[in-house]
Amino acid sequence: MPVYAYKGLNAAGKTVSGIREVESAKALRTVLRKDGVFLTDVREEKKGEERKGEVNLQRAFSRVSSAELAMMTRQLATLIGAGIPLVDAINALSEQVENPNLVLALSQIKQQVNEGASLADAMSGYPKIFSNLYVSMIQAGESSGALEVVLERLADFTENQSALRSKLITTMAYPVIMMIVGAGVLTTLFVFVVPKITKVFQDLNAQLPLITRILIWFSETMASYWWLILLMLISGVLGFRRWVGTPRGRSTWDAFTLRAPIFGPLVRLVAISRFSRTLATLLSSGVPLLKALDIVRNIVANSVLAGVIEQTREAVKEGAPLAEPIRRSGQFPPIVTHMIAVGEKSGELEGMLNKVSDAYDRQVNMRISLMTTILEPLMIVGMGVVAGFIIISILLPIMQINQFVK
């Protein structure tokens, strides 16, 4: 069945757009009319065109948030659990979801499944939407006949990861905004306000206090060479990104982030929590340990920890227990390796990994709250120190102005 991208006007006169899978453009017009939408533009997304054009299509339609993916996954689990055939369930989903990128992907996945492909193989063609972890778990669910259970676990996992990411972003947003606003205010003061005030003191031809001379020098430098300072900042950022993009630079930076004060422990906690939760989810879904370690290695953002997981995978491949190479690396806390060892011996590895992740999630939340509590007053104090420096630098000459006049 063809897929059409459309634009139209709803009953309120607002422009709406989307993607629908219908038999023809005429049928689309009829369906939209029932929904109260007046069709203004329609075009068919040609599925049969190139497999070569499929890459471009995926590139154009690839933005799907974690929350949208989690909701779609849970809805698919519900439909399959209700006994609805897979193709019909995907078709119902394509009509339910609102993200046009996801609608188009689901429409094409449905067509491939209808032609005999497995759901995992169909989803693997959209790596920007469905990660390697997601596809591997779907594949394990199809092989074991427990697709509904795997989808529920996937939904839980995606929601947990999305919630953690949102918490980190929300927590850091306030300090970052404060820094940007503070930097903007101080730059305005130094470039536009301070020069006008200090010019009065310079015209007196008197010996100014050291702190005032420092302020004047800094202000003149900012006013005269702001373009050079901005260019150096941009060059520094671009150079840093290029350096971090190299294997050696990435390894050095990742090692530094793990050792950095304040932020280092938080980075390690988040990485270990993600490692434990992902490995537990994969193993409980039936993914073999070696393949699960391979997937986890690719999703861990820190290259140092990814190297540890790769070494662990090779050791496990040769017959070593999972906990031993992790313990030797020294990158994981002893309690983590101890719980993994206990889980291996008792046959409850997935449960132990989930307990590790739960414990570290709680620590992450506590550290984020603590960092927020500490950062806010530190930033206020820092801005107060700079403001105090400016005020004192200006007040000292004013207090001695009679002496300057004489």
CB-based burial of residue 318 (10 Å sphere; 0-12 exposed, 13-18 middle, 19+ buried)? Answer: exposed
* Residue-level pLDDT at 398: 74
Say how many C-beta atoms besides its own lie within 10 A of residue 69's C-beta: 22
- φ, ψ at 242 (rounded to 5°): -65, -40
Residue 21: band (very low, low, confident or very high) from pLDDT cuts 50, 70, 90: low
Average pLDDT of span 5-22? 70
Is the pLDDT at 405 greater than 60? The verdict is: no
Average pLDDT of span 189-200? 75
What percentage of the chain carries pLDDT values higher than 70? 88
- Predicted model pTM: 0.66
The residue among 166, 147, 155 whose CA lies nearest residue 82 is 147
* Residue-level pLDDT at 47: 46
Strand partners of residue 45: 3
Exposure string for 201-214, b = 16+ CB within 10 A, e = fewer: beeeeeebbeebee
* Residue-level pLDDT at 403: 56
* Residue-level pLDDT at 49: 41
Is the pLDDT at 141 greater than 90? The verdict is: no
* Residue-level pLDDT at 235: 95
What percentage of the chain carries pLDDT values higher than 90? 9
34-71 pLDDT per residue, tens = 777 777 777 766 544 433 334 344 444 446 788 888 88
How far, rounded to the nearest angstrom, does the alpha carbon of residue 396 sit from its chain's CA centroid?
49
Q: What is the DSSP string of 352-380?
A: HHHHHHHHHHHHHHHHHHHHHHHHHHHHH
* Residue-level pLDDT at 397: 77
301-351 pLDDT per residue, tens = 788 998 999 999 999 999 889 999 999 988 898 989 999 999 988 888 889
Cα separation, 93 vs 285, in Å, equals 23
Is the pLDDT at 231 greater than 90? The verdict is: yes
* Residue-level pLDDT at 57: 43
Strand partners of residue 4: 20, 44
Is the pLDDT at 112 greater than 50? The verdict is: yes
* Residue-level pLDDT at 20: 66
Average pLDDT of span 356-374? 83
* Residue-level pLDDT at 1: 59
* Residue-level pLDDT at 19: 66
Write out the H or E segment, with its range, that includes residue 384: helix 349-399
CB-based burial of residue 72 (10 Å sphere; 0-12 exposed, 13-18 middle, 19+ buried)? Answer: buried
Average pLDDT of span 205-213? 76
For residues 403 and 122, the model is more confident at 122
Out of 80-94, 185-199, 300-314, 378-392, least confident range:
185-199
Average pLDDT, the chain: 80
Reduced to 3 states (helix: H, G, I; strand: E, B; else coil), residue 196 is: helix
